[in-house]
């Protein structure tokens, strides 16, 4: 089948090529999929998108008119896709239902450790041969109370690392994970978790019920010197409320791999023209905040799994089959 893949990263391209070239005709693009770039897909029955694609009604109309039959997204999240509109237009939609949970959990811990030990500030100083320790004091993770919001596969992996550090584990989710209970996790209310935790990490999907889960009220419950990490979805945090909390001197560290208005910014080079998003610029300016550009998933292991799942989505569609990745089945 003929496939056009949008927003393909340089490190991702050879993996896609190796998987697809002997099976399907693949065209890769660096640009993101939105209503402006959707016309490029005309004549391609299969479109592969990324998590920051804008698959709204307008984009879906263009794809459907151009002959697209399958949209296969190279991510677990799909809140960027209007599934109802896709179904109405006869578009089959698939995603990658799972890939290495260790990749995301390990990156979340990377962020937590980096902000706790002020690593970015330390590295920047050492590059200028300034080897003072002023302002670099962190805390032992050992003995901390760690709150895990969302204890699915990724949250469980995060909790296992926390257990290795020798922490007290608190969890919050709609259902208790037996594996987390075996680690000694105590499931409590969200409010209690926020009040008691020294470090809070978010691992829930973005749904209407979880949008701005961490708002001004939630931030007020956190300890003054707590560490907050989000490697899940940007919309889980009310960014304006977070900036106000930081301005008031709250939180010892914040590690963010996602941002609620990241589309059009993350995965792009904005070093020359800068950014016009005042909230993001303000966030990055705080010395205790570390922002990475949605790269928690970006390990060779995880990307290999994403590519393999995407290939299977295409093969199954061509054979008239569905699988666990199918969000909108073929009519």
- pLDDT tens for the 331 residues of the chain, in order: 999 999 999 999 999 999 998 889 999 999 999 999 999 999 999 999 998 899 999 999 999 999 999 999 999 989 899 999 999 999 999 999 999 999 999 999 999 999 999 999 999 999 999 999 999 999 999 999 999 999 999 999 999 999 999 999 999 999 999 999 999 999 999 999 999 999 999 999 999 999 999 999 999 999 999 999 999 999 999 999 999 999 999 999 999 999 999 988 888 888 888 888 999 999 999 999 999 999 999 999 999 999 999 999 999 999 999 999 999 998 7
pLDDT of residue 270: 86
**What confidence score (pLDDT) does residue 52 get?**
87
- For residue 299, what are the β-bridge partners? none
What stretch of H or E contains 169?
strand 168-172
Distances in Å between the Cα of 189 and the Cα atoms of 149, 155, 174, 281 are: 10, 16, 10, 33
Quick one: 131 exposed, middle or buried, by C-beta within 10 A (0-12, 13-18, 19+)? Answer: exposed
| Count of residues in the chain | 331
Q: List Cβ neighbours of 32 (8 Å cut-off, separation of 6 or more).
A: 6, 7, 50, 52, 53, 54, 263, 264, 267
**Domains in the chain with CATH codes:** 2-99+299-328 (3.40.50.720), 101-291 (3.40.50.720)
Catalytic residue, chosen from 74, 107, 196, 294, is 294
Residue 190 annotated as catalytic: no
- pLDDT recorded at residue 314: 97
If we measure between CA atoms, which residue out of 193, 209, 107 comes closest to residue 158?
107
Q: Find out whether 267 and 52 touch, Cβ atoms under 8 Å.
A: yes
Find out whether 45 and 70 touch, Cβ atoms under 8 Å.
Answer: yes
Helices (H), 79-152: 83-88, 101-116, 119-127
pLDDT at residue 273, rounded to an integer: 85
- Is 233 tagged catalytic? yes
Q: Which residue has 């109802």 as its token pair?
A: 84
- Rounded to whole angstroms, the Cα distance separating 108 from 202 reads 9
pTM summary value: 0.92
Q: How many CB atoms lie within 10 A of CB 260?
A: 20
Set 107, 118, 203, 233: catalytic member: 233
- Give residue 249's region: left, alpha or beta (phi > 0; psi -120 to 50): left
**Is 294 an active-site residue?**
yes
Q: Of the listed 262, 270, 312, 330, which one is catalytic?
A: 262
Angle separating helix axes 300-318 and 13-20, nearest 10 degrees: 40
């Amino acid at each position: 089948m003929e496939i056009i893949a949008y927003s393909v990263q340089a490190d991702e391209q050879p993996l896609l090529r190796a998987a697809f070239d002997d099976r399907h005709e693949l065209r890769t693009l660096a640009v993101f999929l939105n209503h402006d770039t959707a016309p490029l897909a005309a004549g391609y029955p299969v479109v592969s998108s990324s998590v920051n694609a804008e698959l709204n009604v307008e984009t879906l109309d263009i794809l459907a008119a151009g002959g697209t039959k399958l949209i296969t997204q190279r991510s677990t999240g799909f809140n960027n896709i209007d599934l109802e509109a896709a179904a109405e237009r006869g578009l089959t939609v698939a995603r990658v239902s799972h890939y290495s949970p260790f990749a995301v959990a390990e990156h979340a811990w990377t962020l937590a450790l980096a902000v706790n030990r002020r690593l970015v500030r330390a590295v920047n100083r050492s590059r200028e041969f300034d080897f003072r320790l002023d302002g670099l004091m962190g805390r032992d993770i050992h003995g901390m109370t760690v709150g895990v919001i969302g204890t699915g596969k990724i949250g469980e992996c995060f909790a296992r690392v926390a257990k290795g550090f020798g922490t007290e584990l608190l969890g919050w989710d709609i259902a208790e994970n037996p594996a987390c209970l075996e680690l000694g996790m105590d499931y409590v209310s969200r409010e209690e978790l926020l009040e008691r935790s020294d470090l809070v990490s978010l691992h829930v999907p973005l749904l209407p019920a979880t949008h701005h889960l961490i708002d001004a009220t939630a931030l007020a419950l956190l300890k003054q010197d707590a560490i907050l990490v989000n490697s899940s979805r940007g919309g889980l945090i009310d960014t304006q409320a977070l900036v106000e909390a930081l301005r008031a001197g709250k939180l010892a560290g914040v590690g963010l791999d996602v941002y609620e208005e990241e589309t059009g910014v993350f995965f792009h080079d904005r070093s020359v023209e800068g950014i016009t998003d005042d909230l993001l610029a303000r966030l990055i300016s705080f010395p205790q905040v570390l922002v990475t550009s949605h790269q928690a998933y970006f390990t060779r292991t995880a990307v290999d799994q994403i590519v393999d799942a995407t290939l299977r989505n295409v093969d199954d569609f061509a054979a008239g089959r569905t699988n666990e990745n199918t969000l909108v089945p073929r009519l």
